[in-house]
Structure 1
Amino acid sequence: PHHTISDIALIGGGQWPRPGEISLSHHGVLFLDEVLEFKRNVLEALREPLEEGKITISRASMTTTYPAKFTLVASCNPCPCGFLGDTKKACTCSTSQIIRYRSRLSGPFLDRMDLQVEIPRLDFSDLSSNTVEENSETVRKRVEQTRLLQQERYQKEGIHLNGEMKVRHMKKYCICSREAHDLLEKSIETLALSARAYHRILKVARTIADLDHSEKIDVEHVAEAIQYRTLDRKYLEF
């Protein structure tokens, strides 16, 4: 959807409730390009469906619940001018402009974003390289094998994948080594992350360990999961 979309069009509703874009994306991908250009109330309305996988719309005469279990993918520039951290061109934004720009994403919304990745500028040598990278088919097979592993693990739990784990599941299946536990504790305290962010990191670390064919979550798995909290770390710089 375009960044001018209303919260009703995105979430659903109206005098006679109709499903919005998030329900139309059920079991699919919802892509928000230039997410920081969306109105804050529109983004905040995504918090419930991101957590619950459904959205409930209440009106005076009726209450309707629509499915909304989707994968949210969003992109944005690091600052209004787009060059913060660029190695070739200097940023022209003031600190206050950057803070105001980033404040459109609230802490609770960021907590629900499992992977936050910064993509730097590509050099010409990278763009013109003939190096053959890992193809999509190889990646797909690895992902399918990992999904099958998780489905077998949770077949008696009423869930299918790591992302569906509740706290009781994490206590049982997210066993960390001592080094991993210490790193996680230090990172949570340093970044002042919430309980929700802590659980999200654990789920990502569990998935990384699965891809690595490791039964226990080791320090390298936790370290990689924490690296995917780019925006949490960036907020500490201002």
Structure 2
Amino acid sequence: YRSHFPCRVTLVAATNPCPCGWHGDPERLCSCSESIRKRYWAKLSGPLLDRLDLQVVMRRPNSDELAAPYRRSHQEPEGESTSKVAMRVKQARQRMAERNPAGCSNGELASARLSEVIKLSDAALALWEGALNQRQLSARAGERLLRVAQTICDLDGKEQIGPSAIAEALTFRSFDQLTS
């Protein structure tokens, strides 16, 4: 596809948790049965989900959360500032460009080169292998998990993938349990 697109194509997808849209909501009741929810999620094939690097469940914000940016308070916003995050991203991209062949991102790295480029601690390797077995992940999903873990390390300025990066990357594979 590279000959048709000068840049990497990014796929963003969204879905409801069930046909009625309320499964898991703390304030509204879902009207779907377990079998209806399973049938709904079965429509999302494993190979499609394998191609999504980050799978995150989003919950409906409550009214306080929605109104917070409009309140006239002098409180400092929580978390890192946008400029600090931008600097970390710039530094992470620099690390990728120096480490990866042809300066490609972790997501663009050829599968054959992945094992040459990333460094896993023994504990991280054991956690990754356990996740592959427990969640019955495909080879593609397992590699994507490593790519995300490497990106987490790049953002944190770490040279080696540790178990905490694997654990964090696993939190971005929310749908594995729903489809297996």
Measured against the shorter chain, the TM-score band is 0.7 to 0.9
- Structure with greater proportional helix content: 2
The equivalent residue for 1:187 is 131
The equivalent residue for 2:95 is 149
One-letter code of the match for 1:66? H
Matched, 1:85 2:31: no
Q: Kindly report which structure 2 residues correspond to 1:119-198, keeping only aligned pairs within 5 A, or say none.
A: 119-129=58-68, 132-133=77-78, 134-154=80-100, 157-198=101-142
Quick check: 1:115–1:228 contact (8 Å CA) kept in 2?
yes
The SS at the match of 1:164 is coil
- 1:141 is displaced (CA, Å) by 2.3
Structure 2: tracts of 5 or more residues without a match: none
CA displacement 1:56-113 (0-9 Å, x = unmatched): xxxxxxxxx6337311111111111111111111111112221222222111011000
One-letter code of the match for 1:193? L
CA distance in 1, matches of 2:97, 2:127: 28
Larger RCO (alpha carbons 8 Å, 6+ apart) = 2
Matched, 1:118 2:118: no
CA distance in 1, matches of 2:12, 2:162: 27
Quick check: 1:159–1:165 contact (8 Å CA) kept in 2?
no
Q: Kindly report which structure 2 residues correspond to 1:1-238, keeping only aligned pairs within 5 A, or say none.
A: 53-54=1-2, 66-67=4-5, 69-129=8-68, 132-133=77-78, 134-154=80-100, 157-236=101-180
User: How many residues matched?
Assistant: 172
The SS at the match of 2:91 is helix
- Structure with greater proportional strand content: 1
The equivalent residue for 1:31 is none
- 1:159 is displaced (CA, Å) by 4.2
- 1:123 is displaced (CA, Å) by 2.4
CA displacement 1:159-193 (0-9 Å, x = unmatched): 42111112332212222111111111111101100
Identity %: 40
CA distance in 1, matches of 2:102, 2:95: 15
One-letter code of the match for 2:48? F
CA distance in 2, matches of 1:115, 1:191: 16
- 1:211 is displaced (CA, Å) by 0.8
CA distance in 1, matches of 2:177, 2:58: 15
Return the TM-score normalized by structure 2.
0.87
Quick check: 1:177–1:216 contact (8 Å CA) kept in 2?
yes
One-letter code of the match for 2:4? Y
RMSD: 1.8
The equivalent residue for 1:17 is none
CA distance in 2, matches of 1:76, 1:94: 18
Return the TM-score normalized by structure 1.
0.67
